[in-house]
Amino acid sequence: MELTFLGIGVLTWITFLPVLGMIIVLMLPKEQGNAIRWTSLAFVTLQLVLAVVIFAKFDRTLTGINSQATMQFVEKATWIDIKSVAWFGRVHIEYLMGIDGLSVAMVLLTALISWVAVISSWTIDKAVKGYFALLLLLDTGMMGVFVALDFFLFYVFWEVMLLPMYFLIGIWGGPRREYAAIKFFLYTLFGSVLMLLVMIALYFSVNVYIDANGTLYSVAEAMKRGTEGLEKIYTFNMLQMMDAGNFIPGSLLAGVNTNWRSLAFIALFVAFAIKIPSFPFHTWLPDAHVEAPTPISVILAGVLLKMGTYGIMRISIPMFPDAMIQYAWWVALLGVISMVYGALVAMAQTDFKKLIAYSSISHMGVVTLGMASMNTQGMTGAVFQMFNHGTITAMLFLIVGVIYDRAHTRGLNEFGGLMNQMPKYAAVMTVAFFAALGLPGLSGFISEAFSLIGAFQTFRTLTIIGAVTIVFTAGYMLWTLQRVFLGPLPDKWKTLTDMDAREMVMLVPLAAIVIFLGIYPSPALNLMNASLNHLAGLLQQAHAGSMLGVY
């Protein structure tokens, strides 16, 4: 499947459109606040349109995951090619992009959430130009992470995302913004370093053959074809790293279930677990969320957290299936702890935004658990939960933003009785809250149910413990609803106005998606089905292989 505009592939467009927007924004005079806003909106809207085109053209039967042939919208070019660097040998890095069922949902989510975030940013008045420029750069970084198929490129996008986020929290954030920004930056950087180490270790453990045109051949393909005219090189190509045959015998990460492979898996897991964030690496999240401005919280919860679980499914599982099988129980355990612990700590919060932040930890724990199930139902639940959490939590943070803009406080105990004062707001919030607590008929239920049902088939006791979370979640969600909306209306809030048109525009589409997918999830599930079946199959093969002592 290929799709190009003006000779450039759709994935390049969807990734770099925001950068184009950023350049235009930077050329506009800084007094032209509205021009900057509308330019940004135009570019993210265009990005969303492309995402819809991708959704329409995406072939639901192709598997992707570890084969380039079944990846879609693939774009490939030689990016860096240095013939010979001392003992390094030839350095050949590809600009390789492509999507499969695993990433397509995330591409859609990123485009959607970025669009919502730009609308939500309309009220930002401080240094508008810098803000929107950074926001657009962040958008490119996020999109790039989900479409990159070369580890080096992936890493570059991963880091590109970090810097704008740091400034967006550190400049436009709340009172303790600098603390939160630095904490976020250092914590994530710590994870990045671990990822970098594993990436380098993989680089020197995997070799492939390259011909004069720059086409890569896996070792098996090269053996079949004959190696004349081919050169043996190291590679960052992720898909080649998933092929056990490409590992150099005797290299650091060769073999099955070796200590080095375990270590690499764990290091990579920690790198991603920080991003999810999974217990016990989660404490940067509440601080970052509380200090970040609303649109940045929306992006943070809506998209950034998904990169952790996406990374595990895109990189850790296909490259280290042996270690994944070995450590699945521990991964599931962290997922369950995050679920229960996140929910319980959320219940004790009195700051509205902090409560939602902890609820994110709990809901992302469901993704971790579903993913660790290693079967189709669980992983489908996990990826669907990633999408649903993106839309639902985006709603929740927008909802906090709406009330904070008006009341300038987020103290849960200061509100009450807003149901009559702000009926539209109450209706939207009721949908979001019930979606978050997993009410059937709304999308969150289906993904949670499949995650748990899948996980139960692999880990019974853990899943039963995890299932108890649905009581706690109902507890803190309804309690929050009660504290904000029910009871008598305090006098000081009698002047609050209901949501305006702009706020409806950002919230109602999300609510519509949540309801639609809650009733009929197939359009989303069909997207990911073939890839996840394939991934589950890979794990099953690896499992069978490790039982037989061969890989």
Would you tell me which residues interact with another protein (CB under 8 A)? Answer: 183, 186-187, 279-280, 282-284, 341, 344-345, 347-349, 375-377, 380, 417, 419, 434, 439-441, 445, 449, 452-453, 456-457, 460, 463-464, 467-468, 470-472, 474-475, 478-479, 482, 485-488, 520-522, 525-526, 529-530, 533, 536-537, 540
Could you tell me how many helices (H) and strands (E) the chain has, helices first?
A: 23, 7
3-state secondary structure at position 341: helix
The rounded distance, in Å, linking the Cα atoms of 324 and 374 is 9
CA–CA separation, 52 vs 32, rounded Å?
30
Q: Which C-beta is closer to another protein: that of 78 or that of 457?
A: 457
> In this complex, which beta carbon is closest to another protein, that of residue 229 or of residue 487?
487
Question: What are the tokens at 333?
Answer: 């355990």
Q: Would you state the torsion angle of the CA atoms of residues 202, 203, 206, 207, taken in this order, to the nearest 10 degrees?
A: 180
| Smaller CB separation from another protein, 205 or 377 | 377
Q: Which is nearer to another protein, 70 or 240 (CB)?
A: 70
Cis status, amide bond into 280, omega within 30 of 0? yes
CA angle, residues 537, 541, 547, in degrees to nearest 5:
145
- Compute the distance between CA of residue 219 and CA of residue 207 in angstroms, rounded to an integer: 8
Nearest approach in angstroms of CB 444 to another protein is 12
Residue 286 or 302 having the CB closest to another protein: 286
Considering the complex, state which of residue 230 and residue 285 has its C-beta at the smaller distance from another protein. Answer: 285
265 to each of 158, 259, 270, 275, how far by Cα in Å? Answer: 18, 10, 9, 16
The one-letter amino acid code at 216 reads L
Q: Nearest approach, Cβ of 547 to another protein (angstroms)?
A: 14
Q: Please, what is the minimum distance in Å from the beta carbon of residue 230 to another protein? A: 34
CB of 200 to another protein, least distance (A): 23
Of 202 and 442, CB closest to another protein: 442
Closer by beta carbon to another protein, 176 or else 225: 176
**Per residue, what are the HEC states of 492-537?**
HHCCCCCCCHHHHHHHHHHHHHHHHHHHCCHHHHHHHHHHHHHHHH
Give the Cα separation of 61 and 362 in Å (integer).
33
CA dihedral sign, ordered 314, 316, 322, 326:
negative
Name the minimum Å distance from CB 24 to another protein.
Answer: 39
Q: Sign of torsion, CA 65 68 70 71? A: positive
Nearest distance in Å: CB 460, another protein = 8
Is there a contact between 529 and 106 (Cβ–Cβ < 8 Å)?
no
CB of 347 to another protein, least distance (A): 4
Length of the chain counted residue by residue: 551
Which residues, including other chains, have CB under 8 Å from residue 542's CB and lie 6 or more apart?
321, 322, 324, 325, 551
Q: Give 202 or 386: the residue with its C-beta nearer to another protein.
A: 386
Nearest-approach distance from CB 282 to another protein, in angstroms: 8
Shortest Å distance, C-beta 91 to another protein: 33
Minimum gap (Å) between residue 100 Cβ and another protein = 15
Residue closer to another protein, measured from CB, 221 or 351: 351
